[in-house]
Amino acid sequence: MSDCAQCVVRNRAICSGLSPEELLALGQKGRKQTVKRGQTLVWEGDDSLVVANVISGVLKLSVSTADGREQIVGIVFPSDFIGRPFGKESPYSVTALSDAEVCVFHRSTFDQFAREHPELQHKLLQRTLIELDEARQWMMLLGKKTAEERIATLLIRISERLSADGCTGPLLNLDEFELPMDRQQMADILGLTIETVSRQLTRIKSSGVIALPDRRRVVIHDRQALLDLAEAA
């Protein structure tokens, strides 16, 4: 792989904290790969052969029932880690929502390297714990929140995540951004239908809290009001 020391996600991905020598050693085991929008990198139930860091783009993690219902169980942004280390089957699919670049490793190679480098393993643990916390917050949303609360929560979360991505500071709370997904995908994240998503967005727009200049663009006019709509964090 090309020079990890120059990597744009160098300071935020799990590789941060590795010594220059370790970074080099890990870098030699990985390779950069581009993924086209819509392309699936890992299939649910398949042998988990690769893990990766996201360099650019946005991907979804999803699980499906036998009869085709799909639930998106995670959205992955640049600097996030994807794949299931230390386990032979992937419990979900990983699919690109936009064109993306990832830095891929063979799972077994990565597993071995991680076991030999406690600092890397620690980073991975920290990240997994955070993901678990987030998954549990989302369980609350899916189990107990109304459609309007769900939409408001999603908009807040995406705006936070996208602004954190700028990496210029803690959180500057982007008030205008591009949705990295279409309406159907929003519905699959929120446990709703596309029609309900559409209706609730129009409702919130009509109240003046947000504007929707085009399909993908969102402008938050009154963040506090949106937070109130989202209820508890």
Partner DNA sequence: CGCCTTTCTTGACCTAGGTCAATGATAGGA
Partner DNA sequence: TCCTATCATTGACCTAGGTCAAGAAAGGCG
CA dist., res. 124 & res. 212, Å (int): 37
Q: How far apart are CA 123 and CA 23, in angstroms?
A: 14
Binding span for its own copies by CB under 8 A among 100-108, 165-173, 188-196, 212-220: 188-196
- Angle in degrees, CA 83, 125, 230, rounded to 5: 80
Separation CA 48–CA 91 (nearest Å)? 9
Q: Compute the least distance from the CB of residue 176 to DNA, in Å.
A: 16
Please say which residue, 101 or 188, places its beta carbon nearer to its own copies. Answer: 188
DSSP letter at 8 equals T
Binding map of DNA across residues 15-54, x = CB under 7 A, - = no contact: ----------------------------------------
In this complex, which beta carbon is closest to DNA, that of residue 14 or of residue 192?
A: 192
Q: Which does 49 bind (CB under 5 to 8 A by kind): DNA, its own copies, none?
A: none
Site mask for DNA (CB under 7 A), range 180-209, x = bound = --xxx------xxxxxxxxx-xx-------
- Return the residue matching tokens 């020598």: 21
What's the Cα-to-Cα distance from 215 to each of 144, 173, 177, 202, 212, rounded to whole Å?
A: 28, 21, 11, 12, 7
Residue 10 is a binding residue for DNA (CB under 7 A): no
Q: Where are the beta strands (DSSP E) in 59-138?
A: 59-64, 70-76, 81-82, 93-96, 100-106
Write down the least CB distance from residue 146 to DNA, Å: 4
The residue count for the chain: 233
One residue of 6, 20, 21, 215 binding DNA per CB under 7 A: 215
What string marks each residue from 111 to 150 as x (binds its own copies by CB under 8 A) or -?
----x--x--xx-xxx-xxxxxx-xxxxxx-xxxx-----
What is the spatial distance between Cα 63 and Cα 75, in angstroms, rounded to a whole number?
12
Q: What is the CA radius of gyration of the chain?
A: 18
The distance of closest approach from Cβ of residue 172 to its own copies in the complex, given in angstroms and rounded to an integer, is 22
Nearer to its own copies (CB atom), residue 83 or residue 180: 83
List of residues contacting its own copies (CB under 8 A): 61, 63-67, 69-71, 73-74, 84-87, 91-92, 115, 118, 121-122, 124-126, 128-133, 135-140, 142-145, 188, 190-191, 231-232
